[in-house]
Amino acid sequence: MRSIKSIAIATALCASVAAPAQAAEDFKVGLILPFSGVYGGLGGEIARAFELGLEVFGGEVNGRKIVLVKEDTEGKPNTGLAKTKKLIHSDKVDVLVGPVSSGVLAAMRDTVHNSQTPFVIANAGHDGISGSKCSPWFVRTSFSNRQIVRPMGQWMYDQGHRNIYLMAPDYAAGHQMMGHFKAGFEAAGGKIIGEEYPPLQGTKDYAPYLAKVKAAKPDALFVFFAGGAAIQFVKSFGDFNIGKDIPLTGAGWLTSPLYIKKQGEGANNIIGSANYVTTIDNAANKQFHAAFKAKHDRGGSEFGVQGYDSARVIVEALQAVNGNTSDKAAFMDAIRNVSFDGPRGKLRFDPINGNIIQHIYVYKNVKKEGVIGPEVYDIIKDVKVPSDGCNS
């Protein structure tokens, strides 16, 4: 007779042979973006395109399902920091993606660095992250503030402008972008004859600022505004009716495809510099637009491309480590080494500061058959940003 003990062992062995393999743990992505406030529309677009990217490039790697945990920064540094801590310490996300605002990025930087959490920056351009505040735990699929506007200083001078007025919201990105434009423009020989910095949240009427611009009679106005602020600013500019005397130029988000239709006549003739235009002629860009249109009944935008590319970077890095992220440094290394042909052409990261290297497009909005839209008229190729002070 077999003993109870031997039967028990045999049963246990059978059970262990028959038991299904333990399901691999989900891979958690924390989307830390503004879903409300002046940049709420931009956060929504990045999230939408990130989700699309997972559908196109694969939402599961080696049995690990990629799941999203979304948190709203509201575009506010304190809220962004609190939500970042929650995602890292309570939700235990494997990677973070976001934010939109440079101010929010600056606030969360030390928490991310000290907790060694892989981070894919999908918009915020704060220059410190590519310089003295760089960290091996970040890559940036979007841009640095300097990258977008610095080349425009020389470019505007070459177009014959000599006296320029500046305007941007009063926070990190506004001051950094105007500072870089000014440095490039002055080095070329131009002069900045006035600067205005209205509050980022809550400025409803730009007329008082535009009155000062009008009185100063500059050759051109160079600005940075995005999202809700850009919609409001361009409307005010159109209403003020100074465009025929003072050309409106600036960082390209001034008239994103995401909101140009809401901006009215003020959007016509604007000159902008951008890291993406919808008309880039390559297979990946066509695929992006077709997929976006099939799902959302409209084309994608520059914010969308950043979300879509961020998803692909994460999927490809996860594939490179066979779904195993227990060695966070190895996973981060895989992220930094991702390179592919995307909607913006070859995507690759600067090996020192982790910032994307990319072309900058200079476009002008023109009206054709009643519709205002951008036409590219210059491309500044392979713009890298200096890693000054970055010892990552």
Within 297-336, the residues that bind ligand PHB by CB under 6 A are none
In whole angstroms, the minimum distance from the beta carbon of 23 to ligand PHB comes to 39
**Rounded to the nearest 5 degrees, what angle is found at the Cα of 88, between the Cα atoms of 86 and 91?**
70
Q: Which two tokens stand for residue 308?
A: 């879509």
Least separation in angstroms between CB 366 and ligand PHB:
22
Binding region for ligand PHB (CB under 6 A) out of 22-30, 88-96, 97-105, 334-342: 97-105
State which residue, 38 or 311, has the beta carbon closest to ligand PHB.
38
Q: Running DSSP on this structure, what letter comes out for residue 200?
A: S
Q: How far is the CB of 300 from ligand PHB (least distance, A)?
A: 15
Q: List binders of ligand PHB among 147-176 (CB under 6 A).
A: 173
101 contributes a contact to ligand PHB by CB under 6 A: yes
Q: Is the Cβ of residue 130 or residue 325 nearer to ligand PHB in the bound state?
A: 130
Among 32, 33, 52, 100, binds ligand PHB (CB under 6 A): 100
Count of positions on this chain that bind ligand PHB (CB under 6 A): 10
What whole-number distance in Å separates Cα of residue 93 and Cα of residue 25? 12
Residue (of 246, 178, 183, 179) closest to 212 by Cα position: 246
SS3 call for 357: coil
Least distance to ligand PHB, CB of residue 163, Å: 26
Give the residue with the Cβ less far from ligand PHB, 218 or 250.
Answer: 250
Rounded distance between C-alpha atoms, residue 98 and residue 34, angstroms: 9
Options 51-59, 61-69, 100-108, 338-346: segment touching ligand PHB (CB under 6 A): 100-108
* 381-392 residues labelled b (16+ CB within 10 A) or e (exposed): eebebbbeebeb
Report the candidate in 269, 259, 203, 261 with the shortest Cα–Cα distance to residue 236.
Answer: 203
H or E stretch covering 166: strand 163-167
Distance separating alpha carbons of residues 341 and 346, to the nearest angstrom:
4
Q: Is 119 in the site for ligand PHB (CB under 6 A)?
A: no
Q: Applying CB under 6 A, which part among 4-12, 18-26, 98-106, 308-316 lies near ligand PHB?
A: 98-106
Q: In the range 222-261, which residues lie near ligand PHB by CB under 6 A?
A: 226, 253
Where does this chain touch ligand PHB (CB under 6 A) — which range of 118-126, 185-193, 330-338, 359-367? 118-126
Among residues 73, 79, 84, 102, the one that binds ligand PHB under rule CB under 6 A: 102
> In the bound complex, what is the minimum distance in angstroms from residue 388's beta carbon to ligand PHB?
18
Which range, of 1-9, 121-129, 189-197, 311-319, touches ligand PHB by CB under 6 A? Answer: 121-129
List the interface residues with ligand PHB, window 174-233 (CB under 6 A). Answer: 226
- The nearer residue to ligand PHB, 34 or 190, going by C-beta atoms, is 34
Tokens at 319, concatenated: 């594939």
- Candidate ranges 30-38, 95-103, 184-192, 379-387; the one touching ligand PHB (CB under 6 A): 95-103
CB 372 within 8 A of CB 260: yes
Q: Which is nearer to ligand PHB, 141 or 325 (CB)?
A: 141
User: In Å, how far are 273, 327, 349, 362 from 379, measured between CA atoms?
Assistant: 9, 40, 20, 6
Structure tokens at 239: 């209403």
**Helix, strand or coil for residue 54?**
helix
Measuring CA to CA, how many Å separate 103 from each of 1, 76, 124, 210? 76, 8, 8, 25
CB closer to ligand PHB out of 270 and 315: 270
- In this structure, the strands spanning 340-342 and 64-72 are unpaired
Task: Assess 124 for contact with ligand PHB (CB under 6 A).
Answer: yes
Give Cα separations from 233 to 164, 168, 319 (angstroms). Answer: 18, 10, 44
Residue ranges binding ligand PHB (CB under 6 A): 100-102, 124-126, 145, 173, 226, 253
